[in-house]
Amino acid sequence: MTNIVLFGPPGAGKGTQADILKKTYNLIHLSTGDMFRYNIKNKTDLGQLAQSYTDNGKLVPDEVTIKMLNAEVDKHLPCNGFIFDGFPRTEAQAQSLDQLMTKKSTQIDAMIALEVDDEVLVKRLLERGKTSGRPDDANENVIRNRIKVYYDETAILKSYYQKKDKYYGVDGVGSIDEITTRISKVIDDL
């Protein structure tokens, strides 16, 4: 199995690249955002539990997220591997993900982080905001705050995966094909 944590700031192109990579390598794309929306919409036990936190303005505890991830991983086993998008965000979550993968007799092979200059991100997100309907893509101050939060959160994760020799920074600027080629080189060399 090949298991990748795909990371990058908002607007870096994670969703676009995940769609290409899942087809190219026959991997399962697990987006925590999609996972939460699915469980909440379908009123699963975990979805209702997650919503009880979000309705009160609280973050969903890691153990609830890990249970959702475990259920999603189990749905797709056996498979060629996973692309984790949006998780982990903290060192504790990375450790929990490592434990989950060990229980499945596999591991995280790489954290691939798309690296894009802040001004390029702001421009991309404002452009996306014109068609996405997402209010968080239409306000430059909100966008800059999202980028700041990303860097504040992921600096720790970068260090965590570097210590394991599993961190790969990839230039996220260029054409979609150029970026895919850079990411594919990392995956092919694993």
12 is known to lie in a ligand binding site: yes
Does 14 belong to an annotated binding site? yes
Give me the architecture of the 2-188 domain, per CATH: 3-Layer(aba) Sandwich (3.40)
Q: Is 182 flagged in the annotation as binding?
A: no
**134 among annotated binding-site residues:** yes
Is 16 known as a binding-site position? Answer: yes
Extract long-range pairs of 171-180: CB within 8 Å, 24+ residues apart.
171/115, 172/8, 172/12, 172/13, 172/114, 172/115, 172/116, 173/116, 173/117, 173/120, 176/13, 176/16, 176/17, 176/20, 179/13, 179/17, 179/114, 180/17, 180/20, 180/21, 180/24
* 18 annotated as belonging to a binding site for a ligand: no
> Per the annotation, does 120 bind a ligand?
no
Residue 93 labelled as part of a binding site: yes
Question: What's the pLDDT score for residue 69?
Answer: 93
User: Is 61 a known ligand-binding residue?
Assistant: no
Has 89 been labeled as part of a binding site?
Answer: yes
Max intra-chain CA distance, the chain: 45
Mean pLDDT split into 10-residue runs, the chain, 190 residues: 92 92 96 86 91 80 90 94 90 94 96 94 89 82 86 84 96 96 97
pLDDT of residue 108: 97
What are the sequence ranges of the domains in the chain? Answer: 2-188
- pLDDT at position 37: 83
Q: Which has the closest alpha carbon to 107: 81, 130, 126, 125?
A: 81
Q: Is 8 annotated as a binding residue?
A: no
Residue 122, pLDDT score: 92
Q: Is 86 annotated as a binding residue?
A: yes
Q: Is 87 within any annotated ligand binding site?
A: yes
